[in-house]
Amino acid sequence: PISCYLNSVSDSLEGIVGTWNENVWLAARGGGIGTYWGNVRGIGEAVGLNGKTSGIIPFVRVMDSLTLAISQGSLRRGSAACYLDISHPEIEEFLEIRKPSGDFNRKALNLHHGVLVTDAFMQAVRDGTEWVLQSPKDGSERGSVDARSLFQKLVETRLATGEPYIIFIDQVNRSMPKHQRDVGLKVTTSNLCSEITLPTGRDQHGQDRTAVCCLSSLNLETWDEWNGDKMFIEDVMRFLDNVLTDYIDRAPEEMARAKYSAARERSVGLGVMGFHSFLQARGLPFEGAMAKSWNLKIFRHVRAQVDQASMMLAQERGPCPDAADQGVMERFSCKMAIAPTASISIITGGTSACIEPIPANIYTHKTLSGSWSIRNPYLEKLLIEKSKNSEGVWSTILERGGSVQHLDFLTQEEKDVFKTSFEIDQRWLLELAADRTPYIDQAQSLNLFIPADVDKWDLLMLHYRAWELGIKSLYYLRSKSVQRAGFAGGVEADNTPDLKQIELQTTDYDECLACQ
């Protein structure tokens, strides 16, 4: 029942090969994987008696090939992400491993990648100082770069390819459960969708941990049906606890590290979907004070309920070992994470994906059984009320990439309610994400939607602002200039005047089904 994992590579040949082996077994059994490579020394550093290492890139490339070779559960090929520190000597080459130009032997075109960004680096960007690249082996200086130039390269790579993901790792570790932080556990990586932040590698007992993602999502579109039910979230947390127990009981020996980690911390990730649909059902724009108010109310409520459920289940079934060792009565170490929910949001009736805005008000959804035209039900209801629900009106919306901003019979407030992802000021996405961050002990799969002609300064400041607001992670940078990863919700829209049909683009871009 578990399909998402995080692990770390130690700085030895045994550690590297051991991680390759574990990843093969995880991928073969349907797992999506996030692996941290920051412990491995950089290119040119001494190894053995008189040798020099070729760096992490060749090893990452092998992981790329192994992932391609493994079929996930006989349904789809393996999918994995690699993470590296912003201070690693090979960070500049790592940023470009997905670009098809350059030495093909030092590329990993099928892996996703993410960068762990520290407060110290962002302060160096702010101050315009040099940034020291350090050996992970002994901390010695291996070079230096201009912090702003490196930050610009990071952001421009995201604009060109949609990646790498960004994890503001210091903020993540400050938010760790106290009972884990007090024994020296540390988060060094994330998963394939950048919302899971759990400790990996060697723990206080000398055991290696491979963290496990056990996820579920609440449908905010049905908020009125369940928010007053005191048993609802408790039942969901009980369900997650049962799933985790079932996994621990049945996991094969090849997953021993994951089984150990799951048993020790019993972390789960309860998230949400349908946030934009929730707002549209109430006639509220994404950009506004009411959206902020509801955002806070929802996540304050959910967090209070999951905390209560964790303590109640700890009394009933016992606290997790990590918490028990510190005298803490918690069944789960971590309880919340906002996954992308791209697939399950469709299964639940086409609600908006996770906490992000809708990409279009009308689009074509392609499935194995055919193509289906999907219309925003709340917009359709409004058009019926205005006696404007005609094929002609929907055709004009379709021609404009799913936008309603051209419809003169709508008021400005109504147009604001039905703005699409690229039409919304992205600072609102950051502000809403920052407001809910204190209630989410892990992270959020937070996408940003940027037009192709974005001003580079605005783009840099958007990413700087994310750090400044205390946001823990940034997922994809969706741009009109690159059609790579499909939108959450299975939509790929390109707002061009001559567009006749908005549909999911055919890509080779694999993501972890566990989070979708």
Active site residues: 191, 193, 195
Q: Which two tokens stand for residue 133?
A: 């690249």
H helix or E strand, kind and range, residue 84: strand 79-85
Please report how the helices 119-127 and 147-161 are oriented relative to each other, as an axis angle in degrees rounded to 10: 110
Longest dimension (CA), the chain: 81
As a whole number of angstroms, the distance between CA 113 and CA 189 comes to 11
Phi and psi for 47 in degrees, rounded to 5? -145, 135
- DSSP for 31-55? -EEEEE-TTSPPTT-EETTTEE---
Query: CA 472, CA 261: separation in Å to the nearest integer?
Result: 22
C-beta of residue 441 within 8 angstroms of C-beta of residue 334: yes
Q: In angstroms, rounded to a whole number, what is the distance separating the alpha carbons of residues 66 and 481?
A: 30
303 SS3 class: helix
Q: In which element (H, E) is residue 61 found?
A: helix 57-69
Which amino acid is located at 171 in the chain? Q
DSSP character string of 194-241: S------EE-TTS-EE-EE--EEEEEGGGHHHHTT-TTHHHHHHHHHH
Q: String of b and e for 408-436 (b: at least 16 CB within 10 Å)?
A: eebeeebbbbbbbbbbbebebbbbbbbbb
Closest among 472, 465, 468 to 442, alpha carbons compared: 472
Q: What angle do CA 48, 49, 50 make, to 5 degrees?
A: 100
Residue 388 tokens, joined? 């404007």
Q: Which token pair is 511?
A: 């993501």
Q: Which residues pair with 83 in a beta bridge?
A: 36, 114
Residue 285 vs residues 341, 440, 491: alpha-carbon distances, Å: 22, 23, 21
Helix segments in 338-455, DSSP class H: 344-347, 377-385, 391-399, 412-417, 426-436
Q: At what angle do helices 147-161 and 456-468 cross, to 10 degrees?
A: 110
Instruction: List the one residue out of 214, 195, 211 whose CA is nearest residue 203.
Output: 211
